[in-house]
Each structure stands twice: as structure tokens, then as C-alpha cells.
Structure 1
């Protein structure tokens, strides 16, 4: 859960989102809504879907159903929208799939980025709310915990899929499950499993092209996550904890047993391999930054079943990143993109900053965390339409290609 601004964790609001290009906002909104809501069987559902997205973009303050309805039609609209979000039968999965394919066509991603989202709550009735320790702010919060998968490039990013993490306290309580309309298909999983399934389920069923997956695996079972992702064939770039134990693949010493060492110790020994890499940050100034990097070939610890053959070794690349004169390494990343130059991997890792910035400046401004209802289905429909509203702003805000330079 690293790299996330305190404002995105504590519920504080950021500065207003960037202003869109005049004249393009309505065009993109109409085109996107036509694509997204084609799966909705009734014309009134399609109209309400577009009205809700317009309300998320235009309503003042918190993006509650009441505030959205006040913008588009008052009390009658409030009842209609409440039913559309919380009680209707439309399926959000085809809408998300259509959003992913729309972005693939008009703003092709360089990577899929997985980002956690903590939603502080005052009460305990909203689906999934629990007392959770949030490492980034060092305190326990009463909050929902979700995972988003973002389509990301150097120019812009937008969320395309969401998965809400539910604890056993919710899943094993039949009364709470029923009140929150949690489907029978939702089963217990760790936060790490929730993170992986948000991506794997999307790629399995949506017909999307393979792109590198960038994620923070420091607070999950990184070894289990990497083993599962590698089994699917997806290229992965994962930030890992300094204590993750890895085998050293180089330099090989004949006759010497393979060492298993913490990642920070491996990278500390590689200090003399550091080289400078230049990249542009994702602030409006697009400032040029320099990172020191080093790369070492490593492997995951292998376990042979009794009487079985030793599993085939597959090398990974451990990347250390830091700044001159600062603690080394400041970040540790693990990837199976062993033939990609470290400089390109550093720039790929910076897409996490692109997503963090867009979450703060756009997603939170269109109310991605503002759903006040209690139901599982209502939450998923709201974040789906908020993702659409985010995409409209992301696509109509001056992009990086209109500024000097580019990340890649």
C-alpha cells in the first residue's frame, strides 16, 4: 500500500481536478456512455446510467445520490437513481469490460497497475467495513478496503475493475450477508488473493491483451502472488519488501550451495553496480528526475516435494532504486522481464505515481469513495460509474504529449 498520498488514505480532499478541453467533454461523455451501456437491456437504464455519470462530473460537494439528483431532476430523480444503483438488476461486469476496451482503443495502456483503495467510514453498516490497520498512515481505521486495476500510460490512467475485500466477519454472518446482498459466489480470501483475483479474473474473461502488471506486493504474500501470476504467463513488475528472501543467481560459484538471502542484503552487496537513470515525473511541470539503479539476477526459493524432481529454476531480476546520498536501496522491485533494460523498468515502475496522482486529482473528485449505501451491488455499480466519470476527465484533460518530453 505504498506510494499513496495521506489524503487518499484519510479521506481528505485534494485540489480541484484539471480543467478539460473546451468542447470535448460532452463529445467524449456521449461516446463513452454509448459504448458502456450497450449491454443494458432497457433504454431507461441507459438514460439513468448516463445521467448518473453526468451527475458525478457536475454535482457540487460529496457525490451522493441526493446531490446528483439535485443536479438532474430533484426528488423524483433521487428515487429513480437510488433504485438504479442499489436495487436494479443490471450487471456491472459488462460495463467494466466495455470501459476497458474503450480505453484500449482510445488510450492504449502501457501496463495494468493494481492499486489499493481505503474508504474511511464513520459507521459499521456499509458492506465490508472493518477496523483495519493502514500501514501508510500507521494507524487503525474504520474502513472499507478495495483493490482497483488501472489502465495506465505515461499520459493518463483510469480504473477499469474493482474488487471489494470482505472479511470472515461479513462472509460468515448470514444476517449481514443478506442485508448487504452479498452473492453466494463471494468467498473468503486474503487481501493478497483479492489483489491477484482482481487482475486475473479480468484478464481471464474480458479478452484483453497482455500488458505488464505493476503492483505493490510488500504487504501481501509476495511469493504466493508471484508464483500464481507467473503461472498465468503475465509479465510482472512488483515492489517487494526488504525482508523477502530470494536465491542469488549470479555470480554462480561451482560446488557452492545456493544462498537464500533477504532482498535488501542482496541489493546492498550490489551497491557498486548502481547506474543513473533519468525519467520525468507526473507533476504538471514534468520535471526530469534521476534515480540510481542496480539489477541482480535472483530466483524464488524452490521447494522440492519428497521423492520428486527439483523444480526448474527461472531467474528473476531484482531492481534496487534510490537517490544519490540517500538510503540505499529506497525501493526494491522484482520482475520476470529479465531482458528489459533496467532503465525501462524504472520508468515502468513510475506508472504507480501516475495512478496515485490521477486517483487524488480525478477519481476522488468524481466521488469514487462517496457511495453511502450499504449494499454490495450498490457499491460495485457506483464505483463502476465513477470509473467512467474518471475516464471522461482523464481523456479530456491536457495529456503528457502536449507537454515537453515523455516518460518513455
Structure 2
């Protein structure tokens, strides 16, 4: 168990008897009964403060109570966060059955809950960027919604798994997921029996993993009233050119990671003589060796400064789609690497101007911070532990696991405090 999870479990279970306290949030506008006020940055304080707005869209008090219990169970239960294990910790007759119904069979909409969580996060820790991260959930068998066999470049082998993308808010000291989209391959979308058994909505159509990323961003940035920030996408399986074209078509500024063998056309006046034919991204960076500039930046306000070498080159790309090619327009190829050139730079495509180059290293670092947060916190609160077969059950579980993650990071991060309702 990670240090963060160990502390959370200890804090949430300290001062309890053998049976944990069951949190009972009241309805909107009503006084909430939570017992003695906890410390300002304790998990209990954040959980208390978050649950009110988080579950305000749930009309029934028993649903709001189940939601708080489920988040508490994810934070407090050791090992696999199964409903059975969480119910045993929470206690009470019929708790497991009620939690199962709340996640798998109830009708509450997870979208307003996610929006409330995003609103809470941007007030507690205003984001500098949004990061899109893939999630793989290995599975045994073929019955979990969306499960399929696919080759994982990262693992170097074929996996039987669910795949999803998460959109994360990344701030000075906090990284937390706010939206999720489950990738459903054609084997699920076109099979009427499987669709019915998993209760997949009729409006869900086949899409690539890159399409998932674009749609997940559009859902939250178009309809939730969130601040516009650069979107960073690092999904090795996705077509980066199609992804940046999709985001650009929706007015979403982005940086999309590209492989060194991606073919681009140089349009930068500083690299004359290289625009006659497409070149690999690595080749362009080699040609632009003398165009790099050192940029000093900080991971957070409390960390030591770092210096990266940032190289920007104007390029043109052509994104392919079934049925023909589509111009994505002029973009920047950005290289971010060590100033001593001891390793190859990370390569990104962006529609942001070169005048933002000073921010590129910190934005690119957001991907690593999200990866670390996923390993240290998200995985520990059971984001991949849902074993049900329903589409809606999966979405409700990952929504509440994201809420548990938010409680975890806000109660362990200096400078981020609960947002007190006025």
C-alpha cells in the first residue's frame, strides 16, 4: 500500500470503534450531521465538504447517504475495494445489497456528479492544464462491459482488458481525474445481445481510442463551464494527427505527444531547404538543433527550479481519416529535453503559439505527474476494482473512485484546502 493510502486509511479509521462512522449528508440547503468538526485538512474534512455539492443532484437522501458511504469505503477498505469488502467495513444489515443497487441498478446520472467534482477541484486547486490519460483494466473472461483482446505497446503483449481514457485536472500540487470515457470496440457495439446485457445506451457508437479522448474533453469543456486550459494527450495507440485535428475542430487548444517517426512537413522559415518533402519528427529536431532555447521552470511553487531545452518548429501535417485525408493546418512541433542533450527530447504537436514556449516543459511534466498520481492514489482507491457487467455501473464506480482520489489528494497536499460552502 502506498504512503498516501496508508495515511488515509489510518486517518479515516483512527478514533473509531470497531464499526466505522457512517456519514449522513443531508439534502441541499439542510444542515449536515457529521459529528465533531475534524481538522482543516483531514480526509474527514474534505469528505464532509465535498459530499454536499457532489451529491446535490441526487434527489433522495438515501442515495446521497449511499454515495458518501461508497466513497468512504473506497478510502478506508484495505485490499480490493469490492462491494462486499466495503460493506463489511461500513457495517449494518443489508449494506452490501444497498451499495450494489446504488452502483449497478440505480438510475442516478453520473455526469452532474462529475461536474460538481470538477467545480470543487477548480476552486480548491485551480488547474494549469487538462491531461488525457489512458487506463487499462486487465480482466479474466469476456463478460465485463467493453472487454476485448488487444496488443499493448507498453506491455509488449496481447491483453484481455477494458480500456478507457480519463481527463485530469493538473494544478500546482494536485492531479485528479474529472471525466472518464469507456472505449467500446465494434465487437460490443455491433452485438445486440452484448449491448442489451450491458445496458449500453443506443447513442453510443463505435470509436477509436483517440475519438474517446476527444469526446471526453468535449463533454466537459463544452457543457460544464470549466476554464479553458491546454489539453495534453499522451495515448500511444491513438493517431496523434487525427486526435489534434479533432480537438482543434472543437476549439480545444492542445499538445499531443507524437512518436519520432511521425512524418511532418517543415514550414518554418528558420529551416529553409527542408520543406520539399515530409520528414520524421526526429529528423526535424536534428535539423533544428541550433534552434533550441533553455527554459527554466518549476514543477510547483515549493520545488527547486529546473531547466529544459525547448525547440519549436513550424510544421504542416495531414491527418488521415477513413474516406480520405484532412488538413489539420499549421502547427508547432515542440521538443522538450535536457539541456545537455543526454537523451532525446519528448516530441509534441500543438496549435499553441511559440510565445507560450516557456510553459511547455511544465505542461509536458503534467503527464508524468498524472502517471504518478494514478499509481500512488487512484489505483489504491480501487479505480479498477469494479467487477460488474453494466455500462452505467462502471461509470458510477469510476466517478466515485475519482471522488475518493480527490479527497485523498486534497487532504495530503499542502496549499490545497477544502472549499467551504458560503
Instruction: Answer yes or no: same fold by TM over 0.5.
Output: yes
Name the CA distance, whole Å, in 2 between partners of 1:315 and 1:394. 38
- Secondary structure of 1:353's aligned partner: helix
Aligned partners of 1:268, 1:339: CA distance in 2, in Å?
Answer: 19
String of CA shifts for 1:223-277, please: whole Å, max 9, x gaps.
2221221122221111111122222122279999654222111111112223333
Q: Which residue of 2 aligns with 1:147?
A: 165
Separation in 2 of the partners of 1:109 and 1:256? 38
Q: Distance in 2 between matches of 1:326 and 1:111?
A: 26
Distance 1:377 1:59, change over 3 A: same
Name the counterpart of 1:131: 149
- Distance in 1, Cα, partners of 2:241 & 2:364: 19
Q: Aligned pair 1:299/2:287, yes or no?
A: no
- 5+ unaligned residues in a row in structure 1: which ranges? 1-12, 304-309, 403-408
Give 1:332's aligned residue. Answer: 347
Query: 1:350 is matched with which residue?
Result: 365
Whole-angstrom distance in 1 between the partners of 2:92 and 2:79: 16
Instruction: Give the aligned partner of residue 19 of structure 1.
Output: 7
Return the alpha-carbon distance in structure 2 between the equivalents of residues 256 and 289 of structure 1. Answer: 32
Using the TM superposition, give the Cα deviation of residue 75 of structure 1 relative to its aligned residue in structure 2, in angstroms.
5.2
Q: Check the 8 A contact 1:245/1:301 in 2, yes or no.
A: no
- CA–CA distance in 2 between the matches of 1:88 and 1:401? 33
User: Secondary structure of 1:393's match?
Assistant: helix
Distance 1:239 1:254, change over 3 A: closer
Map 1:377-396 to 2 at 5 A.
Answer: 377-396=392-411
| SS of equivalent to 1:19 | helix
What secondary structure sits across from 2:107 in the alignment? Answer: coil
Please state whether the residue corresponding to 2:159 is helix, strand or coil: strand
Q: 1:394 to 1:141 in 2, by over 3 A?
A: same
Q: Identify the residue that residue 183 of structure 2 maps to in structure 1.
A: 165
2:91 aligns with one of 66, 73, 78: 73
Q: Tell me the distance in 2 between the aligned counterparts of 1:294 and 1:18.
A: 42
CA–CA distance in structure 2, aligned partners of residues 333 and 288 of structure 1 = 22
Aligned residues: 381
Q: Per-residue CA shift, 1:361-406, capped at 9, x if unaligned? A: 111111111111111111100000000010011111133789xxxx
Contact 2:147 2:161 in 1 (8 A): yes
Per the alignment, residue 72 of structure 2 pairs with 54
Q: In the aligned structure 2, how far is the partner of 1:325 from the partner of 1:178?
A: 57
Change (3 A) 1:75 1:372: farther
Alignment of 1:391-406 (within 5 A): 391-399=406-414
2:31 alignment partner in structure 1: none
- Counterpart of 1:264 in structure 2 is 282
Q: Assess if the C-alpha contact under 8 Å between 1:154 and 1:400 holds in 2.
A: no
Q: 1:197-217, CA deviations, whole angstroms, 9 ceiling, x for partnerless residues?
A: 111122222222211111115
RMSD: 2.7
Could you say if the C-alpha distance between residues 392 and 255 of structure 1 is closer, same or farther in structure 2, counting changes exceeding 3 Å? closer
Determine whether 1:103 maps to 2:121: yes
1:115 aligns with 133
1:214 aligns to 2:232 (yes or no): yes
Counterpart-to-counterpart distance in 2, 1:262 and 1:66: 53
TM-score by length of 1: 0.86
Matched, 1:368 2:383: yes
Q: Which residue of 2 aligns with 1:242?
A: 260
The verdict on how the C-alpha distance between 1:254 and 1:99 changes in structure 2, with shifts beyond 3 A counting, is closer
Tell me if 1:319 matches 2:319: no
SS at match of 2:62: helix
